[in-house]
C-alpha cells in the first residue's frame, strides 16, 4: 500500500462511514479520538527508536502515519499538500534527541492541528526510518 492509496481509503471511509470501521469512529469523533491515538503512536515511535530494532520502528512509524493521514483527511487537506517523501539529505539526530523531538512536536500538533504540524511530524517519522536503517517497503508492509 502506498501513502496515496492509504489516503484514498481513509477519504472513502469518511465519505461512506461504514459501520464497524475503526477509521469511521476516528473520523466521526474527530480530534477527540485522532489526537490521543496520534500522540500515543508518536510516543511509541520514540520508545522504539531508543530500545528496538528497525522492524519495530517501521511498525510504529506506519501506525503514526496512519493517524497523521486520518487527521489530514479529517481536516479536509488534499493529498497533494502532504509532504510524504523522504529526503536522504535530512540530518538525523541521535535516537534520544529524535524521540524527544517527536514527543514535543506531537504535543504541539495535538494542541494546534494543522497541515504544517502534520508535515513536520512526517519529516520526523522519515528521519526515524533513516536513523534506524529501516525502509519504506518494510513500513508499508505494516499498513
**Mean predicted confidence (pLDDT) in 111-121:** 93
CA-based nearest residue to 86, from 118, 128, 58: 128
Model pLDDT, residue 92: 66
115 confidence band (pLDDT: 50, 70, 90): very high
Q: How far is residue 143 from each of residues 19, 80, 95, 118, measured CA to CA in Å?
A: 21, 20, 23, 18
CB count in 10 Å sphere of residue 10: 19
Q: Which fold has domain 3-140?
A: Helix Hairpins (1.10.287)
**Mean predicted confidence (pLDDT) in 131-138:** 75
134 confidence band (pLDDT: 50, 70, 90): confident
Instruction: Identify the three-state secondary structure at position 11.
Output: helix
pLDDT tens per residue, range 10-32: 999 999 999 999 999 999 999 99
Domain-wise residue ranges, the chain? 3-140
pTM of the model: 0.90
CA-based nearest residue to 69, from 60, 78, 56, 59: 78
Amino acid at each position: 500500500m502506498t501513502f496515496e492509496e492509504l489516503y484514498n481509503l481513509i477519504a472513502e471511509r469518511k465519505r461512506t462511514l461504514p459501520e464497524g470501521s475503526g477509521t469511521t469512529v476516528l473520523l466521526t469523533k474527530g480530534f477527540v479520538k485522532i489526537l490521543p491515538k496520534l500522540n500515543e503512536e508518536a510516543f511509541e515511535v520514540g520508545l522504539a527508536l531508543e530500545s528496538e530494532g528497525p522492524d519495530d520502528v517501521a511498525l510504529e512509524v506506519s501506525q503514526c502515519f496512519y493517524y497523521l493521514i486520518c487527521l489530514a483527511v479529517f481536516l479536509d487537506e488534499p493529498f497533494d499538500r502532504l509532504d510524504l517523501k523522504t529526503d536522504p539529505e535530512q540530518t538525523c539526530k541521535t535516537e534520544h534527541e529524535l524521540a524527544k523531538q517527536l514527543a514535543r512536536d506531537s504535543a504541539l500538533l495535538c494542541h494546534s492541528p494543522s497541515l504544517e504540524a502534520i508535515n513536520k511530524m512526517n519529516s520526523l517519522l522519515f528521519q526515524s526510518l533513516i536513523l534506524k536503517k529501516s525502509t519504506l517497503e518494510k513500513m508499508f508492509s505494516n499498513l
